[in-house]
Amino acid sequence: MRKVSYSIRTINSLGKLLEKVTYVQKTLEQNKYFLSNIERPIANDELIFFLKEIGTIYNLNFPIIDVRCNDNKFLRGFTNSSVSPHTECCHESDIPTWICLYCIESSDHGGEFYLIDTSKVIKSMDSGQIEYFKHKKYEILSPRSKTLNRDTIIRKHPLFSNDILVYTTIGFKSEHRHGYSVKDDPSREKLQQLNEIIMSQKKAYSFHKWRKGDLLIFDNHYFMHGRKSFKDIKRHLKHIRLSVENLIK
Ligand SMILES: O=C(O)CCC(=O)C(=O)O
Ligand SMILES: [Fe+2]
Q: Which atom of ligand 1 is nearest to the CA of 225?
A: 7
Instruction: Give pLDDT, residue 198.
Output: 93
Backbone angles phi, psi at 31, to 5 degrees: -95, -15
Ligand 1 contact via 216 beta carbon (within 6 Å): no
Ligand 1 contact via 77 beta carbon (within 6 Å): yes
* C-alpha–C-alpha distance, residues 190 and 8, integer Å: 38
Beta strands in the chain (DSSP E): 9-11, 33-38, 56-57, 64-67, 83-86, 98-105, 113-117, 137-141, 147-152, 154-156, 163-165, 179-180, 207-208, 214-219, 223-227, 236-243
Going from the Cα of 79 to the center of ligand 1, the distance in angstroms, rounded, reads 11
Which residue, by CA, sits nearest to atom 6 of ligand 1? 77
The CATH homologous superfamily for domain 9-243 is Clavaminate synthase-like (3.60.130.10)
Give the single-character DSSP code of 2.
P
Tell me: the pLDDT tens digits for 30-78?
999 999 999 999 999 999 999 999 999 998 899 999 999 987 777 888 9
Average of pLDDT values for 161-174?
A: 84
Give, for ligand 1, the residue of 232, 233, 239, 241 to mutate: max count of ligand atoms closer than 8 Å to Cβ.
239
Ligand nearest to the CA of 87: 2
Going from the Cα of 141 to the center of ligand 1, the distance in angstroms, rounded, reads 19
Spatial contact of 217 and 239, defined as CB atoms under 8 Å apart: no
Q: What would you report as the CA-atom Rg of the chain, rounded to the nearest whole angstrom?
A: 18
pLDDT above 50 (res 249): no
Residues 6+ apart with CB under 8 A from 34: 24, 27, 28, 215, 216, 217, 218
Residues 6+ apart with CB under 8 A from 176: 141, 145, 183
- pTM here is 0.92
Of 144 and 230, which is predicted with more confidence? 230
Give, for ligand 1, the residue of 76, 170, 223, 237 to mutate: max count of ligand atoms closer than 8 Å to Cβ.
237
Instruction: Give pLDDT, residue 188.
Output: 77
Residue from 142, 106, 119, 94 nearest 242 by CA: 94
Bridge partners (DSSP) of residue 236 are 105
Tell me: the pLDDT tens digits for 212-232?
999 999 999 999 999 999 998
Please, which residues have CB less than 5 A from ligand 2, an ion?
88
Which residue, by CA, sits nearest to atom 7 of ligand 1? 226
Ligand 1 contact via 214 beta carbon (within 6 Å): no
- Give the chain's largest Cα–Cα span: 54
